[in-house]
Structure 1
Amino acid sequence: MKKFLALLLSMILVLSLTACGGGGGEDSKPADESKPADTQPPADSGSEPAEGKTVKVGLICIGDENDQGYTYNFIRGKEAATEALAAKGITVEWVTKWNIGEDSG
């Protein structure tokens, strides 16, 4: 009975890994390949950046901005992302929530 149960569980494991695998089937094409070629912009169009575009982004932090650790690194990343997008003409509007615990629902 134990051998049968072990064999059954191992077969289920193999089948579940096969089902979750990244097969090369037709359904696994990236979204960009499904678009017609004439609707895709060129990779390096050289056009001007979209001036006046605003993106709203939310950031949830487990601590405050003075913790000099986990949250501090996210704030530095937020500032770097803001600068990089500003160079492309995109304004980022940040909504930040502080001191939200990991177990908060």
Structure 2
Amino acid sequence: MKNKFAEQLSLALGRDKTLTQQQIADRTHVSPGQLSRLKSGSRSTDPQIRKSLANVINDFWLSYSGARENFGVLSFQNDRQLQGDMFSALMKQKKEQRERERIEVEF
């Protein structure tokens, strides 16, 4: 079963074309097989491995996912009500910005 960190690790490894999985495994002191199991989500990770992988791969989303899993930071994406509130607030802000720009042009 894939967890959020495993999903982000899979995406990060797909985006990062500078290092091979063998090089990443060597730099994080895990075996290539363990890295593959972490990527598939069949093995859980400890905070040190998550931090090490995020630093070696240098991926923001992987760091965020590792921190969220590690420190319990809640994501507004998991709550539909909060997600809707954030989206509507963003749309309202953009609408107000366009209205201000229109008024400035008139003056």
TM-score range (shorter-chain normalised) is: under 0.3
Give the structure with the higher percent helix: 2
| TM-score, L = length of structure 1 | 0.23
Flag the structure with higher strand content: 1
Whichever of the two has the greater Rg, that structure is 1
